[in-house]
Chain A
Amino acid sequence: DAGVTQSPTHLIKTRGQQVTLRCSPKSGHDTVSWYQQALGQGPQFIFQYYEEEERQRGNFPDRFSGHQFPNYSSELNVNALLLGDSALYLCASSPSSYNEQFFGPGTRLTVL
């Protein structure tokens, strides 16, 4: 059983560019959450998707947007990248009935 997968593993972008990160949830999970983790800090909740809709959003600007597809996979898009967007981006999946979240390996984004 494949766990949560994310792509790409690493990404380097320059300020002002746009980036798309991808996530496939664990088999049987229909809910996907995205987190940003800066170095040395705990994860910060960006948003959660369920039934192809954004169900809840954390304190992140509109530059951060997402999408969930019918097969439950998800994308995180970040526009107009800032240096401060450099972080590890984690995707987590869970079944809708239970909030234990299983995390993917993350995408390390560096903005130069």
Chain B
Amino acid sequence: ELKVEQNPLFLSMQEGKNYTIYCNYSTTSDRLYWYRQDPGKSLESLFVLLSNGAVKQEGRLMASLDTKARLSTLHITAAVHDLSATYFCAVEGDSNYQLIWGAGTKLIIKP
């Protein structure tokens, strides 16, 4: 059974600090997705990582993928309050039709 594990599940940090969220998965999939969800809202696509070594950056967020280690990271640089949200990673299942999701990392950034 494909499993996707995120850690930490909860993270409280100060503005201006750097931190990394980790996403481990148990399949050989080479496609990984990061999404953001604000409280009571839907999911917003952040990054699509399609191959080993892929790195994408948008503002203070940078995502990378190591398919050999079955690991993706989401790095936050100089955090600001607006980045407070829950972040999910998702991996394609064996059939490539469904996404298998991590439990999410709730990020709170304090001024």
Contacts and interface: CB of A to CB of B under 8 A. Distances in A.
Interface stretch (B55-63, B65-73, B97-105): B97-105
Interface residues of B, number: 23
A101 B42 contact: no
Interface residues of A, number: 20
B88 interface: yes
Contacts, number: 51
A95 interface: no
Most chain A CB inside 10 Å of its own CB: which residue of B95, B98, B104: B98
Interface in A57-87: 58
Contacts of B99: 33, 43, 45, 99, 101
Interface of A: 33, 41-45, 48, 55-56, 58, 90, 92, 99-106
Interface of B: 31, 33, 35, 41-45, 48, 88, 90, 92-93, 95-104
13 contacts: A33-B97, A41-B104, A42-B101, A48-B97, A56-B95, A90-B42, A90-B43, A99-B97, A100-B48, A101-B33, A103-B42, A103-B43, A105-B41
